């Protein structure tokens, strides 16, 4: 989920801007995910292309930032730094509680959870009947963190085991990819908006999982070290494209049908680094 009135936000700890680089404008007040769907006329191929444009453009942008002669250092997450190195500020505690609506007090989050509780079973269960598929994993990065990102599927051969049928009358979707990950994000936004105002950190055409954040400058303090870092990421991405993407019977399955094994996980609390608690997890298949 994401803010409905902007396409740009800033990570409070890193000063790093999260910009929509797909080229699609979002009108204030609209569901931000509808803008991309409408711009693509619902075409999964066009949606995938815009997600791909966003992540390749952003990687190229970040590559330039790492390799420029004017490099000013990484954006170190100051909260995580203090949690990992207690001597820097003894007694420090992360003050940010989250429910996707981020960086609130524990009391504010408790109030939001109370408001949302009637809708949470339907929210977490969305993926059982609305199944979308993600493909083509790639390493994405910036001056703050490294992530693995995916693209919404667009007709690639399904490599996962056969899907468990959805309840009678519902279509699993994932076999034809007409219902994309972006449609799922739209539906989650709509369902959540029925109970609370959405105030997430950013809205971008990205499906990613953060792998790690930087805690020091020492591994990137020289041009040679930074070049080695970028080359390692690019080598991994070449390997993923050659050995994992759309490879049948390979060592790895390069796709993820959202909802496999378990449904959506509604969580609250100190979520930034994997903490917090689960309110409810939806049924998997």
Which tokens hold the place of 176?
């034809």
Burial of 171 (0-12, 13-18, 19+ CB in 10 A): middle
Rounded to an integer, the average pLDDT of 20-43 is 75
Residue 6: is its pLDDT beyond 50? no
Cα 127 to the center of its chain, rounded Å: 16
User: At residue 7, does pLDDT exceed 60?
Assistant: no
pLDDT tens track for 164-183: 776 655 555 556 899 999 99
Higher pLDDT, 184 or 32: 184
pLDDT of 21 strictly over 70: no
pLDDT band at 2 (very low <50, low <70, confident <90, very high): very low
Q: Work out the number of other CB atoms within 10 angstroms of the CB of residue 236.
A: 14
Give the bridge partners for 255, in sequence order. 135
Q: Residue 12 has what pLDDT?
A: 41
**pTM of the full predicted structure?**
0.85
Do residues 101 and 200 make contact, with C-beta atoms less than 8 angstroms apart? yes
Compute the average pLDDT of residues 4-9. Answer: 32
Note the pLDDT tens digit of each residue in 197-250: 876 556 689 999 999 999 999 999 999 999 999 999 999 999 999 999 999 988
Question: What pLDDT is attached to residue 245?
Answer: 96
Phi, psi of 79 (to 5 degrees): -70, -50
Residue 59 confidence (pLDDT) = 97
CB 11 within 8 Å of CB 210: no
Using a pLDDT cut of 90, give the percent of the chain over it: 68
CA 149: distance to chain centroid? 7
Q: What is the mean pLDDT of the chain?
A: 86
| Residue appearing with tokens 């001597």 | 87
At residue 23, does pLDDT exceed 70?
no
pLDDT at 42 (0 to 100): 84
pLDDT band at 14 (very low <50, low <70, confident <90, very high): very low
Instruction: Show me where the domains of the chain are located.
Output: 8-281
Question: What local confidence, expressed as pLDDT, does residue 201 receive?
Answer: 55
Question: Among 142, 149, 145, which residue's Cα sits nearest to residue 62?
Answer: 142
- The segment with the largest mean pLDDT, out of 18-27, 56-65, 250-259, 266-275, is 56-65
pLDDT tens across 72-120, in order? 999 999 999 999 999 999 999 999 999 878 788 999 999 999 999 999 9
């Amino acid at each position: 989920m994401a803010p409905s009135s902007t396409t740009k936000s800033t990570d409070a700890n890193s000063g790093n801007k999260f910009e929509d680089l797909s080229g699609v404008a979002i009108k204030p007040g609209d569901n931000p995910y509808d803008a991309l769907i409408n711009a693509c006329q619902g075409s999964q191929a066009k949606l995938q292309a815009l997600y791909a444009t966003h992540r390749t453009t952003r990687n190229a942008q970040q590559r330039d930032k790492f390799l420029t002669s004017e490099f000013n250092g990484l954006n170190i997450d100051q909260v995580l730094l203090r949690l990992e190195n207690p001597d820097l500020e003894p007694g420090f505690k992360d003050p940010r509680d989250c429910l996707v609506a981020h960086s609130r007090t524990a009391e504010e989050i408790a109030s939001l959870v109370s408001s949302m509780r009637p809708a949470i079973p339907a929210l977490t269960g969305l993926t059982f009947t609305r199944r979308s598929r993600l493909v083509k994993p790639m390493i994405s990065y910036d001056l703050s963190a490294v992530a693995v990102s995916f693209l919404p599927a667009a007709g690639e051969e399904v490599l996962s085991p056969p899907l468990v049928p959805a309840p009678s009358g519902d279509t699993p979707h994932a076999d034809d990819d007409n219902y994309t990950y972006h449609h799922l994000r739209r539906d989650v936004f709509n369902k959540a908006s029925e109970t609370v105002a959405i105030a997430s950190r950013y809205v971008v055409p990205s499906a990613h999982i953060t792998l790690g954040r930087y805690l020091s400058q020492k591994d990137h303090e020289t041009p040679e070290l930074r070049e080695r870092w970028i080359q390692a990421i690019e080598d991994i991405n070449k390997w993923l494209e050659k050995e994992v993407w759309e490879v049948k019977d390979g060592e790895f399955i390069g796709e993820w049908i959202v909802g496999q094994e378990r449904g959506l996980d509604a969580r609250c609390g100190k979520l930034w680094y994997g903490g917090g608690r689960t309110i409810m997890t939806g049924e998997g298949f």
